[in-house]
Amino acid sequence: MKKNVLLLTGIASFLLFSCKDKEEMIEVEVPSATTTEATPVNGDPKTVVANQGAFQMKGLNYGYNDLEPYMDAQTVETHYSKHHLGYCNKLNDAVKGTPLETMSIEEILNGLDLKNSALRNNAGGYYNHNIFWEIIGPKAGGKPTGKVAELINKDFGSFDAFKTQFTDAAKGLFGSGWVWLVYQNDGTLKITTTTNQDNPLMPNAEVKGYPLMNIDVWEHAYYLKYKNERPKYIENFWQLIDWSKVEYRMSLAK
Ligand SMILES: [Fe+2]
């Protein structure tokens, strides 16, 4: 470490050592500048724009670093501006010049041709991530209220029972995929899982219905921060769920 040498003379020496009248050379170690700022994050979610096409990125209601410490800025930025954007751009390519261009994403998913793997993967990836970013936020977590709380209590027994079941499904899902809370046509809630970028709107869904919330358990969602510790990522995800957004999605369910 670089050392600065300060020469203390005269008055200082006199005050400290009143008997001394000779100059004294004291070597003082000056702390070097330290970096205490968080890892800098490049970019702004507002600048993430898809190539020209039928679908566009919806933006985030928060900055890349606002979900710290539960979800780190680098993961959020990479996940949104690289992975999610990639699905959106490839979805635009897949629907270009077809009747699908004028349909909503939910209409496309409901009537999906499962053999069209480019459309299946990218329409799913686009929609699933839209929900993921929508239902999380800073200063969130806690327990739901209103109709969501009422139905969770009715269909799972309690919020804690629901949380355990959802968490276990996320921990136990093999490989890449999603866990969902689905509002079924009969008005009940159910937890389900899908692999890859499939979702509960698709014709092959084991549990069909309107997705109220989800968690992404692809490694790209957590590996930079949590490495192989998926359970820690899942536990911390509960601190990010904005239940008012889940309640809003329930109002959209038909
Ligand atoms: Fe993802």
Domain with residue 228: its CATH number is 3.55.40.20
| Span from the CA of 29 to the centroid of ligand 1 (angstroms) | 49
Instruction: Quote the CA–CA distance of 170 and 164 in Å, as a whole number.
Output: 10
Q: Read off the pLDDT of residues 150-175 as tens digits, 9 standing for 90 and up.
A: 999 999 999 999 999 999 999 999 99
Residue 95 within a domain: yes
Q: Read off the pLDDT of residues 33-80 as tens digits, 9 standing for 90 and up.
A: 433 344 556 679 999 999 999 999 999 999 999 999 999 999 999 999
| Span from the CA of 28 to the centroid of ligand 1 (angstroms) | 52
| Span from the CA of 27 to the centroid of ligand 1 (angstroms) | 55
Show the domain range for 168. 146-252
- Token pair, residue 164, equals 């355990």
Residues 171 and 241 in one domain: yes
Q: What is the DSSP letter of 220?
A: G
205: closest CA among 225, 177, 228? 177
pLDDT at 43: 79
Is pLDDT at 232 greater than 60 in this prediction? yes
| Span from the CA of 231 to the centroid of ligand 1 (angstroms) | 16
Q: What is the pTM of this model?
A: 0.84
| Span from the CA of 220 to the centroid of ligand 1 (angstroms) | 6
| Span from the CA of 179 to the centroid of ligand 1 (angstroms) | 12
Q: How many domains does the chain have?
A: 3
How confident is the model over 207-233, as a mean pLDDT?
98
Is pLDDT at 90 greater than 80 in this prediction? yes
State which amino acid sits at residue 245.
K
Is pLDDT at 16 greater than 80 in this prediction? no
Q: Output the CA–CA distances (angstroms, integers) from residue 169 to 14, 77, 85, in the order listed.
A: 74, 26, 27
Instruction: Quote the CA–CA distance of 189 and 168 in Å, as a whole number.
Output: 17
Is pLDDT at 14 greater than 50 in this prediction? no
